[in-house]
Structures are given as C-alpha cells and as structure tokens.
Structure 1
Amino acid sequence: MSQSTLKAGTGRSELLARAEHAPHALGMFAEASAQLRRFMPFDAAVWRVTDPETGIMTAPIHAENIDDKGCANYWEIELFAERVNLYSELVQAPVPVAGLRETTGGDPGGSAIYQDFMRPRGLHDELRVVLRVGGRPQGTVSLFRARGRKAFDAADTAFIGSLVTPLAKRLRSFAEPRPAGAVPYTLGVPGGPGLLLFDPSGVLVSVNDEARRYLDELPDGPSALTAMGLRVPPWLHGIATKVRAAAHERDRGTARIRLRTRDGRWLVCHATCMRQADGSLGGSAVVLEPAKVSDVMPLVADAYELSERELEVTRCVARGLSTEKIAGQLFLSPHTVRDHIKAVFEKTGVSSRGELVGLLFIDHYRPAVAGQEEANELASITKR
C-alpha cells in the first residue's frame, strides 16, 4: 500500500470522526471541509443541507471563498441555464460525484455555471457531490479549484465517493430530537406566516414582519443584502427561483423545504408563482411558517432509520390505537405489530408508547410553535 493511500485512509477516518462529533450541520460542514482540504486541496467550497423529499437546498449553508451574492446567483444559473452535471440528475447517478472537466473531456464551455459563475471568479474546475443515503439527498457540496490548479481526477472522485454515505447519515441524524431540557420552550415567537414577495426577476420587493423575525431565528450563513435592508439567504432565493423555473417549465417538483431554527424548532418554507392581470407569469410568493407534526415526523423517523412499516405502526401508536386495532388496520398479526413496536423502541431508545410519542412528536412540536391547543392534545396521547 502506497504512502499516499495510507495518508488518505487516515485522513478519511479523521474526517468522519470529527463529523460524527460535530454538534450541528454547520459544524460538520466546517470540520469536514477543513479536513478534506488537507488531503484533496481546493480553493472554494459550498456545503448545503437539502430537504430529502424535494432535494432543494435549505438551511444551513456553509460557504468558503465564495461571495454571498454568488451563492444565490449560482442556483439561478443552475435552474435556468445549466445542462452539465445537474444535481437533479446526479442524485440518481450510480456514483453521485462528478467533476466538470472530467465530464466534459476538459472543455467546460457548454456549462453555464462555468461561463457565468466560475470564469468571472477565476475558478477552473468544480467537483459536485450529492450526499445521499437510501436514495434520498441529505446535502450537496460544490468544491472549486482555481485557475492554475489541476482538474479534479478519478482519484478525487473515488475519495469523495467514499464519504457520501457516512456524511449523509450524519446529516440525517441531526433531525433526531435533542436531549430533554437542552432547548427550552421559546415563548412570544410569531405564530402567523411570514410572507416574502419577489418580482419576476427574483428581486425581493415586499416582506412582512413575521418573515423578518423567522429569518432572524435561523442559523448563520451566506446572505445577500437587498434594497429593503434585509439579508436574504441563498436557500430563500433558491426556493423562489425554483418555483419560477417550474412555471417556465425549466424545472419541476414541489417548491417546499423544512428547516430548523437555532433553538431547534422546525419551520416549513414553500413558494408559488403568481400571475399578472393579463395571465402572464409574475413574481413569486414565499411563505415561512411553523411546521406541523406531519411535516417533521418523516424526518425524525428517517433519522432513527425506521422502516416504512415501522413508521406506519408508529403513527398508529401516536393515534392511541391498541395493538389489536393496529393489526386490523394494517392487516398484520398482533404478534407482528408487537415485533415492530419492539424494533421501534430499540431504535429510538425508549421503553414505552408514551415515551415514543413524546420523543418523536412533542419534543419537536413545542407549544411556542405549534399552538398550545394541539400541543396539549399531543401530550394527552402519552398518558393513554
């Protein structure tokens, strides 16, 4: 075994160990990027969390040596003009890693990202990565090398490919509920929806006070200052851009993401494209609002690696159904239901149905966000 191979193996182990001990996604990105740079040099990078159901970038985002406005411009180019190594295609690829120059045979001139984003910044090559597990994207990474450096090669692709699944699993695990008492209930936060309106060119033109407060609660990251004096993060520009791209038939899919505030509460962000009085396409409206239990539950279940059947059983448990009723509803034997419940208990580290519902639902659905009435209803389930 060569010395370089040994160093790469040691570097991989150190990188994954640091990622495993990171307290949150931003910390994981910073640690992974710093370790990776030692063994596979690059000059700029953007690490993004994605919503595993829609594949759209969400918060948080970690950027290195990329201007804040560039992070938003990159995504607009990706959705409206790019043809090479699209993330939407890469997520389905056998190996979700691709270098721009390697893909284009050293001639990236047909790439809009290269022409409009990279060249003006003196960047020579890009290595794109989708961090996925179970076919679901948990994050994306863009690594850039500046002009004068060699292009990313097959060895780089293979090394990054070996990190995809473990880093994706670590990202997925951040949806697990935090330890009891780690994050207190936060009272007095806005309960109504936050609304942001973008014009047809993607410029923010109007925002309500609730949206400003929601944005203030989100993790730090790159953001672009608007004429309204509000700093707008790339993921927000991204979802507004995606819905415009879909309206122009340049993209498809639901413009919807889930994201977490600094104190651990979940929000939902979704967008729609507006039409003018004459029927022509107009700007886009983006809504930020507290997440419902049904929004968060799939993420938490995925973090604990619950199977589809185990999730179905868990939902029935949350409704207060007995073993016999669950068996009848799901066309299973009572013995099989008990086995599923036991497996769920083992994966989540609880010992009763009440603890399970409290862990998967109430810990994420704080009264400050959900509304006291529904939170009380959920709490009553744990006492059945």
Structure 2
Amino acid sequence: MSTVIGRDELISRAGRADSPQTMFSTLATQLRRVVPYDAAVWRATDPDTGMITSPILAENIEDHSCAVYWQYELFTEKINLFRDLALAPVPVASLWESTGGEPERSALYRGFLAPRGVHDELRAVLRVDGRPHGYVSLFREKGRAAFTGVERRFIEELGTPIARRLRSYAKHRPEPSLGGLTGPGLLLFDTGGALISANDDARRYLEEMPAGPTSLTALGIRIPLWVHGTAMRARAIAESGGGDTARIRMRSLTGRWLVCHASCLRDADGRPGVSAVIIERAPISDVTALIVQAYELSERELEVTQCVARGLSTTGISEELHLSPHTVRDHIKAIFEKLGVSSRGELVGNLFTEYYEPLPAGSTGRRP
C-alpha cells in the first residue's frame, strides 16, 4: 500500500474544504493514492434517517447507474447493507471478505458489479456519536487484488473525523435568496420508479439542487439521486410493511434548507402503487436539530439552550432542570464558547433565526 500521504494529513486536507462537495473531491483525490480504486461514490446522509441526501459525488460511474445501484441496496441486496453497517461495531466491510471470496453470493454483485467488471467493493459508513453522516463505496475492477484488511482499517480510521467534518457544515448559513416564496413541490413516481408528474414548484426546487448524479425522465426533468432515493425508500417501506420514514433534509445551491419526504400510496387491492414525493422548506425545528449537532452541544447543553430560547432566567433554568445556578452559568459559558457568541440574544439568533429564510416583505404566506 502506498504511503504517499498519511491518515492525519488526509484528514487535515479534507478538513480545510469549505463545503461537503469540496471535501468529497479532496478525499477522492488524496485517498486514491493510499487505497487505490477504480470508481467510487461518496454520499452525505441524513443522520436521523440514514438516507442518502445531498451532496453526492460519483467517480467513473454513470449517473443512471447510481440509481440502479441504490435499487439493489433497498430491494434485493442482503450483504453489507449500509443500514446494517451503520449499527455494526466496525462500520466498514469489503464484499470479498464478507462473502469468503464468493462475491457471487451477492445480488448486487451478480446483477450490477460483475457485469460492469467490478471485482470487489469496500463500503464504509461515516458516523459520529452513533449517527451516520455519510456512505462511501469504493470499487476495484477485475484484475486487481481485493481490498485488504490494512486498507479496510485505514478507511475505518477516517470514518469519525470525516463524519465530524460533514456534520460541521450545517453551521454554514444560507445565502440570501433573490427568488420569491415557493410552495410545496410534488412529484409522482409510478411502481417502476419512473417520474410521471411534477408540479411547477417541484420543478423550481429541482433547479436549485446542487450538482450530483441524476436520472433523466420522460418529462425532460433530471431527478437528483437523493430525491429519487427517497421515492424508492418509500416504496421499500410499503413493500416490507415497515414503519420507517422516507424523509431527508437537504440544502439547495444557496444553502437553503429543504425537506424531502415521500409516501407510497396503495391501489384498491392494497398493493403499493404510486409514490408521492414532497419537497418544501424545512421547518425551523428540523434545521435547529442539525445546527445543534454541528456545534457538538451535549444533551444537557441543548436543554439549557432550549430554556434560554424560551426566555427563562438562570434561576428559572436552575429550577426547571434541577441544577444549581452555578452549574447553569457554567453550561451557558460553555455554550457561548462553542457557538462563538457573547449574549443570550446572540445565541438564540444563531440557533433559531439565522438559518431560517424569512418571508419576503408583504408576503401573506405561512411560515412552516
């Protein structure tokens, strides 16, 4: 294995990236020198649902193939599923190692990887504090050796630092929007996953999406993988009878927070039918949860912050949380340091106001 760049240096270079897109590109350039691969997909995930969200960077893989790959993940594959790796003691695994050198046991390998000349896949979940913030897939073509245990451990050591950096990008504030208020966007997908209808608001939201793998539809609309994946996830939930949620938070090109959620409708005979996907502005409560995680507030610090937001005094917080006033003041001091603020008003503004896009002057729209 090449020693051109070490783990700490790679993490340092990635940490200087000003956006998750840039960080993925940096990782892709640098990691290839240490753990050689022929193709890869880097995905951000919603830490609450573990579903793929923006951004996504695909290397040497066609856009439409990314959606096909994800269909296997949701509907047919049983080996090294990302949702299982997210909970595993070691969130990194190679297909060759997991199948004992018999990758043909994998539906993904038989139907997707082998026909494309792929010999082995190394998967990793980037997680911190038990939450997944990213998924990585590295591929090696036939003729190359399978990924080694040393390479797997190298990727494992990158996981938490890179996930922490991914989480930190939620602190970035959105740019002012020059466009008018957009209502909920609605997209309908048939049972085969093809887009069959979309309203005008959905088209406007899709125009705001950052670059990444997309699928070109019969309507002439390109659907980002994270939106299409939400529709596929809704169908997978309906088919399995599960109670999971097909829901992600994502950011537009300007950094505006959006939420995308989907539900699979049922036909008259009870079978899963059309999937409806809604894209709309994210409620401020959803944004706040991500910002709090980005600043790495502890559970107790979050409770104190919420009390501050409600206007409680130090004495009031002390009584509500059964803490001494001295302890409350210590928590508030620590919170101020983490957020780089010097007053309670500034704290509330940072966490509950500045990440939310206000309504235009004179608008009669309803805030979510």
TM over 0.5: yes
> Are 1:135 and 2:126 matched, yes or no?
no
Rounded to whole Å, the distance in 1 between the matches of 2:362 and 2:59 is 39
* Residues 241 and 225 of structure 1: CA distance in aligned 2, closer, same or farther (over 3 Å): same
Q: Which runs of 5+ in 1 are unaligned?
A: 377-384
**1:343 equivalent in structure 2:** 334
The answer to whether the 8 A contact 1:79-1:250 is kept is no
Which of these residues, 96, 100, 106, is aligned with residue 101 of structure 1?
96
Which residue identity does 2:270 align to in structure 1? Answer: G
Deviations 1:230-264 (A, max 9, x none): 00111111111111111111765211110111111
Moved more, 247-256 or 67-76: 247-256
Which residue identity does 2:314 align to in structure 1? Answer: T
**2:253 equivalent in structure 1:** 262
> Are 1:206 and 2:201 matched, yes or no?
no
The answer to whether the 8 A contact 1:79-1:251 is kept is no
Which of these residues, 3, 16, 19, is aligned with residue 24 of structure 1?
19
> Are 1:292 and 2:287 matched, yes or no?
no
Residue correspondence of structure 1 range 295-374 to structure 2 within 5 A: 295-368=286-359
Rounded to whole Å, the distance in 2 between the matches of 1:304 and 1:110 is 43
The answer to whether the 8 A contact 1:177-1:360 is kept is no
**1:382 equivalent in structure 2:** none
**2:7 equivalent in structure 1:** 12
Which residue identity does 1:87 align to in structure 2? Answer: F
Residue correspondence of structure 1 range 207-222 to structure 2 within 5 A: 207-222=198-213
The answer to whether the 8 A contact 1:123-1:144 is kept is yes
> Are 1:86 and 2:81 matched, yes or no?
yes
* Residues 370 and 69 of structure 1: CA distance in aligned 2, closer, same or farther (over 3 Å): farther
Which residue identity does 2:216 align to in structure 1? Answer: L
**1:381 equivalent in structure 2:** none
**2:67 equivalent in structure 1:** 72
Q: 1:133 Cα shift? A: 0.5
What TM-score, normalized by structure 1, do the two folds share?
Answer: 0.91
Rounded to whole Å, the distance in 1 between the matches of 2:240 and 2:311 is 44
**1:234 equivalent in structure 2:** 225
Which residue identity does 2:70 align to in structure 1? Answer: W
What TM-score, normalized by structure 2, do the two folds share?
Answer: 0.95
Which residue identity does 1:266 align to in structure 2? Answer: W
Rounded to whole Å, the distance in 2 between the matches of 1:17 and 1:74 is 31
The answer to whether the 8 A contact 1:242-1:251 is kept is no
* Residues 18 and 191 of structure 1: CA distance in aligned 2, closer, same or farther (over 3 Å): same
Q: Give identity over the alignment, percent.
A: 59
The answer to whether the 8 A contact 2:56-2:212 is kept is yes
The answer to whether the 8 A contact 1:224-1:231 is kept is yes
Q: Which runs of 5+ in 2 are unaligned?
A: none
> Are 1:155 and 2:146 matched, yes or no?
no
The answer to whether the 8 A contact 2:288-2:352 is kept is yes
Q: 1:40 Cα shift? A: 1.2
**1:44 equivalent in structure 2:** 39
State the secondary structure of the residue aligned to 1:175. Answer: helix
Rounded to whole Å, the distance in 2 between the matches of 1:375 and 1:355 is 25
Rounded to whole Å, the distance in 2 between the matches of 1:302 and 1:111 is 36
